[in-house]
């Protein structure tokens, strides 16, 4: 079983950042109860097509988006707009270790589900709020989605074709990286809080903002700006601090060449039939190559056009010159290394028979991760969990369902 066996997580988040975090916690062995609105559920349930197909080949109402971020969870359809629904969630929170939410700032206080409310009953609770801008500041009350945050947080100023080149302009990254990175920061923050709690016995409040996260993980580009005062610009696939480190055209496609040090460059130059490049003082060191990239890059482009992508990889990779193809996802899942690492797997699913999933990349030597539950149907576990956790009998559950408190 995973290392978080015995930890209970109550998840009232939706869309991606929160669910991505709680899916990782479920992968690590935590029991995750996902609270959803009866009738519609998590917003992403409706974000299709594509949809999972049932055994007869017809579309279900399970979107690929929802299926990507919600395995390992038990779905409880509870109406938080009702006082009884709020009471059910408070009772569940009283026995939980972690609470994750991404309502608008202050949104859960009106339901009696704020950190102050829940920690009064359960002082060991770790309560993680995910929002666009954080719990304070001039924009705190604002709503925001990933693409907006990629723009506001600087990523789109760094991503895309350089100015002056056909197709120039800002581009968002092809997946919701601001959401995903916030989710992963949430996981690490929650795990650190659990570790601290083991000594103090106390929970605490975690305030995570998409904008903060987006700014934080610009990494070297942040320091490129802060040290110089010059804002980095879009450079396509090129690296601002390393040369050659970008996609190059080959005889039949593209090659990503990622030379990270001078030794690798010398090996590349020798294997490419141009050892004089490494001996040239303009290119002998990375700093020199960065200064002279305008001359060096066209020379490398001309060299790489002489062979196919596959031929270059066969020549360079055995000599530890980092390079690789530009794969689409069909090619990714056909890669021998990806197949060997079993990144794709299938879980049983009540409607489709099985549903494909992508493995958590973490591998432990002892506490092996086990994937047992597929992304849940809306409200699939409501009655079973409320009976087991809160002791509600069949009559009480039937009454709550008849009045729309649960689904």
Tell me which residues are annotated as active site.
Answer: 179
C-alpha–C-alpha distance, residues 95 and 20, integer Å: 22
The DSSP symbol for 49 reads S
Torsion of CA 250, 254, 258, 264, to 10 degrees: -20
Cβ-based neighbours of 363, under 8 Å, separated by 6 or more: 369
Cβ-based neighbours of 203, under 8 Å, separated by 6 or more: 97, 119, 122, 123, 124, 125, 126, 127, 193, 197
Distance of CA 362 to the CA centre of its chain: 14
**Length of the chain, please?**
407
C-alpha–C-alpha distance, residues 406 and 403, integer Å: 8
C-alpha–C-alpha distance, residues 71 and 27, integer Å: 8
Pairing of strands 254-258, 245-249: antiparallel
The SS3 of residue 292 is coil
Contact (CB, 8 A) for 262 and 245? no
Report residue 25 as tokens. 């916690």
- Residue whose entry in the numeric block shows the structure tokens 């689409």: 328
């Amino acid at each position: 079983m995973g290392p978080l066996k015995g930890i209970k997580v109550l998840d009232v988040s939706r869309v991606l950042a929160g669910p991505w975090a709680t899916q990782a916690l479920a992968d690590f062995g935590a029991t995750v109860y996902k609270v959803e609105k009866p009738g519609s559920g998590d917003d992403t349930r409706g974000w299709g097509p594509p949809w999972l197909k049932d055994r007869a080949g017809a579309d279900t109402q399970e979107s690929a988006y929802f299926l990507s971020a919600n395995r390992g969870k038990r779905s409880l359809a509870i109406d938080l707009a009702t006082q009884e629904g709020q009471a059910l969630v408070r009772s569940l929170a009283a026995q939980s270790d972690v609470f994750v939410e991404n309502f608008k700032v202050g949104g859960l206080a009106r339901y009696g589900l704020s950190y102050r409310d829940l920690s009064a009953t359960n002082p060991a609770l770790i309560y993680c709020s995910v929002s666009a801008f954080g719990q304070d500041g001039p924009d705190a009350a604002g709503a925001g989605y990933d693409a907006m945050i990629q723009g506001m947080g600087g990523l789109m100023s760094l991503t895309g074709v350089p100015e002056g080149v056909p197709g120039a302009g800002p581009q968002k990254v092809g997946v919701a990286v601001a959401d995903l990175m916030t989710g992963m920061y949430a996981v690490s923050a929650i795990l650190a809080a659990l570790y601290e709690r083991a000594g103090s016995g106390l929970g605490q409040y975690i305030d995570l903002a998409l904008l903060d996260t987006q700014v934080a993980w610009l990494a070297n580009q942040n320091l490129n700006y802060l040290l110089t005062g010059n804002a980095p610009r879009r450079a396509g696939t090129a690296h601002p601090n390393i040369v050659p480190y970008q996609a190059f055209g080959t005889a039949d496609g593209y090659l990503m060449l990622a030379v990270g040090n001078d030794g690798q460059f010398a090996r590349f130059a020798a294997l490419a039939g141009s050892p004089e490049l490494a001996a040239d003082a303009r290119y002998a060191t990375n700093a020199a190559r960065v200064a002279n990239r305008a001359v060096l890059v066209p020379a490398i482009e001309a060299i790489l056009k002489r062979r196919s992508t596959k031929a270059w990889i066969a020549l360079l990779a055995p000599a530890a010159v980092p390079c690789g193809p530009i794969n689409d996802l069909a090619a990714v899942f056909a890669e021998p290394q990806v197949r060997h690492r079993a990144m794709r797997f299938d879980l049983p699913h009540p409607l489709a028979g099985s549903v494909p999933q992508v493995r958590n990349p973490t591998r432990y030597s002892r506490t092996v991760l086990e994937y047992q539950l597929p992304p849940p149907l809306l409200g699939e576990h409501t009655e079973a969990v409320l009976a087991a956790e809160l002791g509600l009998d069949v009559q009480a559950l039937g009454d709550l369902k008849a009045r729309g408190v649960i689904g």
